[in-house]
Chain A
Amino acid sequence: MQAFNLDLCELPPQAAALREDVRAFLADSLAEFPPAGRARSWVGFDGEFSRKLGAQGWLGMTWPEPYGRARSALERYVVIEELLAAGAPVAAHWIGERQSGPLILRFGTEDQQQRLLPAIAAGESYFCIGMSEPDSGSDLASIRTRGVCGDGGWVINGQKVWTTYAHKSHYMIALVRTGEAGDDRHAGFSQFIVDLSTPGVTVRPIRNMIGDEEFNEVIFEDVFIPDDMLVGEEGNGWQQVIAELAFERSGPDRFLSSFQLIVEMVRRACVIEGETQSGGKKTVISTRASIAIGRLTAHLITLRQMSLAVAAQLDAGVQPVVEATVVKDLGVAFEQSIPEIAHDLFGVSPRLDSGDDFEKALAYVQQANVSFSLRGGTTEILRGVIARGLGLR
């Protein structure tokens, strides 16, 4: 009957005060941050900002003490959605805080936790994810980077690609083949924490179509990884990666990437025409613009409730893999519709360097948004996961 378990989430009572704290912090620390910068959303990289967040205790806040503050996942959700809605530059700490830290907490040794988690929580240590390879995109199980066990550690050879911010990160968590697949092609993988300053590691940025350098190719030539940098169990890499992906599929980052463009659309849609009787500004808006903005708002409100419903389940220790995938698929489709609607409404030529705030936001989002349905699992892969959830495959 009901397709999925998406019981509504109620935010804990302390969330409201936390939200006000985050808003006050952002109003202050991002006062000079322009809309064009905000439009970059979670791709914006600013180490100084990450450090400030760490000082507030808002990184790794769900981790147990002494690494974190043992707050609920729903409180973290509030912090994250406020950051994203403000377009805060969160990229420096983003992967470490969202994915690598939780992975180390779940599968890592106590020594790894002690060594690595405090710096992530302080916003000082940055991580990247080594999954895709030149011949392995969606078909992750076909990766060929290989680790061979030797004296006191492992020797890694191979190549990773599309590794976001590898050129600015301290560590990569790399998925590596360490054993034979046999009958199960998901067997024989392991995850390693690679210190990117290790000899034999070469990181080369790949300029993207917008002209930015965000993703990279990373080459390993006889890179030595000490034994104590293996994450979890040797051979358990695939299961760990699947668990890791659940952290990243349903968060507010999956429907707020284009939010600044909606804000600028609303601003542009309101044409000021004279004054009201009480001396205020009299704004006029076209019916078309009202309808478009109303529809976007309806989608946003609904997606947020769906995403919160998944967050509540994660908080309760449930792994709602299919529900999380539904949120990402719908969220990405929503994000990608926004520049189309903006174009339809205003028909202006977007300009990255010389336009007004709306034009700059549109120029960025229009180009960046093609990547939204690729990162973190393509739409095609996600729909396969949902179809499996429906029992079709």
Chain B
Amino acid sequence: MNETRTLLTETCNRLFSDLVTADTLRAAEAGEWPADLWAALEENGLTRPLVLEDQGGVGLNWQDTFAILYAAGYHAAPVPLAETIVASWLLAQAGIVVPEGVISLVPDERALKLTDGDSTRRVSGEVDNVPWGATAKHLLAVAVGGNINNKHFFLMDRDSVSVEPNVNIGRDPRETIRVFAATPVAVSKVPDAILYDPIRVFAALARSVQMAGAIAAVLDLCVQYAGDRVQFGRPLAKFQAIQHQLAILATEAAAAQTAAQFACRAVDVRNVQSLAVHEIAPAKIRTGEAAGKAAAIGHQVHGAIGFTDEHRLHYLTRRLWAWRSEFGAETYWAELLGSIVTVRGADELWQLITSMPDDDLGRPHENH
């Protein structure tokens, strides 16, 4: 790890350790906005790491940002950090001025329709599972009008939409929003070469990194608990059955970490328009699979105490189950990746796997 990332990791861990306490988590899950935590993140420039300095950000890359999102996942931070990081980056890329405050993401490009032929370019539609839809000051959406090549980024003011409260099993806000002929704050056309849903792709990457962090936290909790808890006269850690379960959990943590890191590097080095789908799809699939295994082993090793409200473990595992299904579950990305592989054909599989991240893959193959 280079110096920037080591420093970022230290800063983030200190900040989250101080500000994501058991009380913070409990209050946030009861609906209270953790204002101190968010203010500290903004103060440290951690909400816009990918935006260039002259545009109000920090100018870091995705590999650096990995350290921030990994720490956020590790501490189960109950704030829309991933959403704001991705939204601010996409806005800056699209040439839209990045607004202050929380920006959330509309997770499905098919949900909102562009009313074309109207000079004001209004959008309408309804969409579920918008993270912190009520708290956000702005929402970023991709909306499609007419044909597939008429895709636009839409930045909407939160007050221009109606919001119905809801939460996921992580007990983080996931609202339903309804939009009736809303006039956006800013609009920018998505380049024609981008065939996938850019919000979904990069939010999936952010979730992958968060999951890698949360899985590492589950592992650490387990190792600690297995060392402390004594049964039959010795610590759980001394039982081979427990050792082997934790070894499996460790291999899953390692795989999740690598898959997410690799995808971050790919975004940094690949042609932006390829969206690094060849690496992000594997990352979301692999971290999602690891999330399910980690949660199961984590609870088995902790026994009944891990099933109590009082214990910290479930703040991680409930989020792992939620995150793996968001912005495309494993099956969504596996079908997409599987069709990329099969369209290329059996004899090109190895070439696809070894293609250097800096190869320009050009236009991705269309899903069929």
When distances are taken between beta carbons in the complex, the residues of chain B under 8 Å from A287 are 335
B336's partner among A259, A267, A294, A330 (CB-CB below 8 A) is A294
Q: Chain A 76-120, CB within 8 Å of chain B: the 1/0 string?
A: 000001000110000000000000000000000000000000000
* B130 CB within 8 Å of chain A: no
In the complex, what's the smallest C-beta–C-beta distance from B15 to chain A, in angstroms?
Answer: 14
Residue of A nearest to B217 (CB): A1
Most chain A beta carbons < 10 A, residue from B244, B250, B336, B353? B250
Interface residues on chain A, size class: 35 or more
> When chains A and B are docked, how far (Å) is the Cα of A390 from the Cα of B341?
37
* B136 CB within 8 Å of chain A: no
Take A329-B251, A392-B243 as given contacts and tell me if A266 and B342 are in contact as well, using a CB distance cutoff of 8 Å: yes
> When chains A and B are docked, how far (Å) is the Cα of A289 from the Cα of B335?
8
Q: Does A302 contact B259, Cβ atoms closer than 8 Å?
A: yes
Q: Does B251 contact A266, Cβ atoms closer than 8 Å?
A: no
Residue of A nearest to B245 (CB): A383
Q: Does A3 contact B250, Cβ atoms closer than 8 Å?
A: yes
Most chain A beta carbons < 10 A, residue from B220, B255, B339? B255
* B226 CB within 8 Å of chain A: yes
* B148 CB within 8 Å of chain A: no
Take A8-B258, A306-B258 as given contacts and tell me if A270 and B244 are in contact as well, using a CB distance cutoff of 8 Å: no
Q: Does A3 contact B254, Cβ atoms closer than 8 Å?
A: yes
Q: Which of B211-242 contact A (CB under 8 A)?
A: 216, 219-220, 223, 226-227, 237-238, 240, 242
> When chains A and B are docked, how far (Å) is the Cα of A287 from the Cα of B339?
9
> Total interface residues on B, using CB and 8 Å?
61
B244's partner among A2, A259, A387 (CB-CB below 8 A) is A387
When distances are taken between beta carbons in the complex, the residues of chain A under 8 Å from B70 are 2
Q: Which of A355-392 contact B (CB under 8 A)?
A: 380, 382-384, 386-387, 389-392
Q: Which of A245-298 contact B (CB under 8 A)?
A: 259, 262-264, 266-267, 269-270, 283, 285, 287, 289-295, 297-298
In the complex, what's the smallest C-beta–C-beta distance from B316 to chain A, in angstroms?
Answer: 14
Q: Does A270 contact B345, Cβ atoms closer than 8 Å?
A: yes
When distances are taken between beta carbons in the complex, the residues of chain B under 8 Å from A305 are 258-259, 261-262
Q: Does B243 contact A298, Cβ atoms closer than 8 Å?
A: no
Take A300-B353, A305-B258, A306-B258 as given contacts and tell me if A294 and B9 are in contact as well, using a CB distance cutoff of 8 Å: no
> When chains A and B are docked, how far (Å) is the Cα of A291 from the Cα of B99?
39
Q: Does B341 contact A263, Cβ atoms closer than 8 Å?
A: no
> When chains A and B are docked, how far (Å) is the Cα of A16 from the Cα of B351?
12
A283's partner among B227, B283, B343 (CB-CB below 8 A) is B343
In the complex, what's the smallest C-beta–C-beta distance from B338 to chain A, in angstroms?
Answer: 3
When distances are taken between beta carbons in the complex, the residues of chain B under 8 Å from A300 are 353
Take A85-B350, A302-B286, A326-B254 as given contacts and tell me if A290 and B259 are in contact as well, using a CB distance cutoff of 8 Å: no
Q: Does B342 contact A386, Cβ atoms closer than 8 Å?
A: no
In the complex, what's the smallest C-beta–C-beta distance from A249 to chain B, in angstroms?
Answer: 13
* B21 CB within 8 Å of chain A: no
Q: Does B354 contact A298, Cβ atoms closer than 8 Å?
A: no
Q: Does A393 contact B243, Cβ atoms closer than 8 Å?
A: yes
> When chains A and B are docked, how far (Å) is the Cα of A108 from the Cα of B164?
74
Take A3-B257, A298-B259, A300-B353 as given contacts and tell me if A290 and B339 are in contact as well, using a CB distance cutoff of 8 Å: yes
B335's partner among A270, A291, A306, A326 (CB-CB below 8 A) is A291
* A323 CB within 8 Å of chain B: yes
> When chains A and B are docked, how far (Å) is the Cα of A366 from the Cα of B261?
33
Q: Does B247 contact A387, Cβ atoms closer than 8 Å?
A: yes
When distances are taken between beta carbons in the complex, the residues of chain B under 8 Å from A266 are 341-342, 345-346, 349
> When chains A and B are docked, how far (Å) is the Cα of A257 from the Cα of B356?
22
* A301 CB within 8 Å of chain B: yes
Q: Which of B106-158 contact A (CB under 8 A)?
A: none
Q: Does B258 contact A293, Cβ atoms closer than 8 Å?
A: no
A390's partner among B238, B247, B345 (CB-CB below 8 A) is B247
Q: Does A269 contact B342, Cβ atoms closer than 8 Å?
A: yes
* B13 CB within 8 Å of chain A: yes
Q: Which of A288-331 contact B (CB under 8 A)?
A: 289-295, 297-306, 309, 323, 326, 329-330
> When chains A and B are docked, how far (Å) is the Cα of A263 from the Cα of B279?
20
Residue of B nearest to A357 (CB): B346
When distances are taken between beta carbons in the complex, the residues of chain B under 8 Å from A86 are 350
Q: Does B246 contact A392, Cβ atoms closer than 8 Å?
A: yes
* B310 CB within 8 Å of chain A: no
Q: Does B247 contact A16, Cβ atoms closer than 8 Å?
A: no
> When chains A and B are docked, how far (Å) is the Cα of A304 from the Cα of B337?
17
When distances are taken between beta carbons in the complex, the residues of chain A under 8 Å from B246 are 387, 390, 392
When distances are taken between beta carbons in the complex, the residues of chain A under 8 Å from B334 are 290-295, 298
> When chains A and B are docked, how far (Å) is the Cα of A264 from the Cα of B255?
26
When distances are taken between beta carbons in the complex, the residues of chain A under 8 Å from B181 are none
When distances are taken between beta carbons in the complex, the residues of chain B under 8 Å from A303 are 255
Q: Does A1 contact B341, Cβ atoms closer than 8 Å?
A: no
Q: Chain B 299-334, CB within 8 Å of chain A: the 1/0 string?
A: 000000000000000000000000000000011011
Q: Does A294 contact B338, Cβ atoms closer than 8 Å?
A: yes
Q: Does A262 contact B339, Cβ atoms closer than 8 Å?
A: no
Residue of A nearest to B334 (CB): A294
* A52 CB within 8 Å of chain B: no
Residue of A nearest to B215 (CB): A3
* B32 CB within 8 Å of chain A: no
* B203 CB within 8 Å of chain A: no
> When chains A and B are docked, how far (Å) is the Cα of A263 from the Cα of B341?
10
List 7 A-B pairs, Cβ < 8 Å.
Answer: A263-B346, A294-B333, A297-B282, A301-B353, A304-B354, A382-B247, A383-B248
Q: Assuming A3-B257, A386-B250, what are 20 further A-B pairs, CB within 8 angstroms?
A: A1-B9, A1-B71, A2-B70, A264-B346, A266-B342, A267-B346, A283-B343, A294-B338, A295-B285, A297-B282, A298-B282, A298-B285, A302-B258, A302-B282, A305-B259, A326-B254, A329-B247, A330-B251, A386-B251, A393-B237
**7 interchain residue pairs of minimum CB distance:** A294-B334, A294-B338, A290-B338, A387-B243, A294-B337, A298-B282, A383-B247
